[in-house]
Amino acid sequence: MLQDRTRHVLYLLLAAAIALPFFTGTVIPPTVGPEAKALYKAVEAVPNNKIVILSLEYEAGTLGENLPQTRALMNHLMKSGKRFAIMGFEPIGPVYGQIEADELAAKWHRPYGKYWVNWGYRTAYVQTLKAMAKDVAAAIRTDHRGVPLSKLPVMRGIHSPKDVGLVIDITPSTYYEAWMAFFTGPAKVKMAVAPTAVMVSDIFPYLDSGQMVGMLKGLAGAAQYEALVFGRTSRERGITWMTSVSMTHILIIALIILGNATEIITRRRKAVGGTA
């Protein structure tokens, strides 16, 4: 009964920690890490005659992290007028990408087909990537509505992998390994990844080896990227949501300290009781 009550109190505290920043409207300015900075520079360095591929592999479960990452990157791409393509080896990712891009396209005046394109959901990722490594346009052929890519101005001059300036895999899974093995590796195309926070530790070997040029570390990475695009105190989605997450981290740290203090006190009491 007592344990149940403790659990309920903890859940209430967590709900309050998450909700409070949304009501107070405060934001904690993020400090930009080297991985986000490197990705920002890599996007800036993509020449105008090349396209950036955003591979969106997430579903509803990880929207909290992957959607702000997508939004932050799209904001930068649209702000700087870079061409980009959305695609995914999971069916829902490109749908979310289309919704975000539609909204941002209206804000930045970047019409579909001229600045960006949705290549849609693709099955058989190994075979698709192998085919793309030979000829991107021939492997994809049409956009998500069945319009031939040759009719879209955004695809003008985009044929071989050499015309791809950067691949960014926004993902809660390990599709980035397939991208490296079958496309960016053989075709020598730059690659970056925006994983969920739990996956971050897996990516460091690829950053060190140079196989990846940058990374957005979960929601924190999205907030850092927004800080680079809009400034540290902006109230963009990633920065606002990250303030909430910061509060939960403080709560978790406080609970760990409290739990250990309780344990130490209980042990001492038992020891005193045992010797008495």
Partner 1 sequence: MGAFITTPRHGIQLALFVLGSVLAFALAMAAMHALPTRYRRWITVLFTFVAGLFYLAEFVIPAGVGVPAGSSRATDNFLSKYLDPVGNASAIIFAVAVGMGILNLARVNGAPLLRGRPGWQNSLAFFAGLIAMTVVGLTRWHAMLGATTPAARRAVEAALVGRLYHLLFDGFYSNLGGTVFALLAFYIVSASYRAFRLRSREATLMMVTAFIVMLGNVPVGPTYLTGWIPEGHWFSFAKVEHVSDWIMSVPNMAAQRALIFGIMMGVIAMSLRVWLSLERGHFFGQED
Q: Which of these ranges, 36-44, 151-159, 163-171, 239-247, lies near partner 1 under the rule CB under 8 A?
A: 239-247
Assign residue 61 a region (left: φ > 0; alpha: ψ between -120 and 50; beta: otherwise).
alpha
Integer Cα distance of 117 and 220 in angstroms? 27
Instruction: Rule CB under 8 A: choose which of 1, 5, 208, 275 binds partner 1.
Output: 208
Q: Which CB atom, from 138 or from 271, has the smaller least distance to partner 1?
A: 138
Contact call for residue 123 and partner 1 (CB under 8 A):
yes
Contact call for residue 139 and partner 1 (CB under 8 A):
yes
Contact call for residue 134 and partner 1 (CB under 8 A):
yes
Contact call for residue 5 and partner 1 (CB under 8 A):
no
Count of residues touching partner 1 (by CB under 8 A): 65
Contact call for residue 137 and partner 1 (CB under 8 A):
no
Tell the smallest beta-carbon distance from residue 230 to partner 1 (Å). 15
End-to-end distance of the chain based on CA atoms, in angstroms?
Answer: 30
51 Cβ neighbours under 8 A, 6+ residues apart: 83, 84, 85, 154, 155, 158, 163, 164, 165
83 Cβ neighbours under 8 A, 6+ residues apart: 48, 50, 51, 52, 115, 116, 154, 158
Nearest to 255 by CA among 3, 8, 14: 14
Contact call for residue 142 and partner 1 (CB under 8 A):
no
Q: Kindly state the DSSP code that residue 142 receives in the 8-state scheme.
A: B
Integer Cα distance of 189 and 205 in angstroms? 18
Instruction: Rule CB under 8 A: choose which of 59, 142, 173, 237 binds partner 1.
Output: 59
Instruction: Rule CB under 8 A: choose which of 153, 185, 205, 231 binds partner 1.
Output: 205
**Binding string, residues 6-45; x marks residues near partner 1 by CB under 8 A:** xx--xx-xx---x---------xxxx-xx-----------
What is the secondary structure of 196-257 as a DSSP string? -GGGHHHHHHHHHHTS-SEE--HHHHHHHHHHHHH-TT---HHHHHHHHHHHHHHHHHHHHH
Instruction: Rule CB under 8 A: choose which of 49, 103, 153, 204 binds partner 1.
Output: 204
Query: Which residues are near partner 1 by CB under 8 A?
Result: 6-7, 10-11, 13-14, 18, 28-31, 33-34, 59-64, 95, 111-112, 122-124, 126-128, 130-131, 134, 138-139, 145-146, 186, 197, 200-202, 204-205, 207-208, 217-218, 220, 223, 242-243, 245-246, 248-253, 255-256, 258-260, 263-264
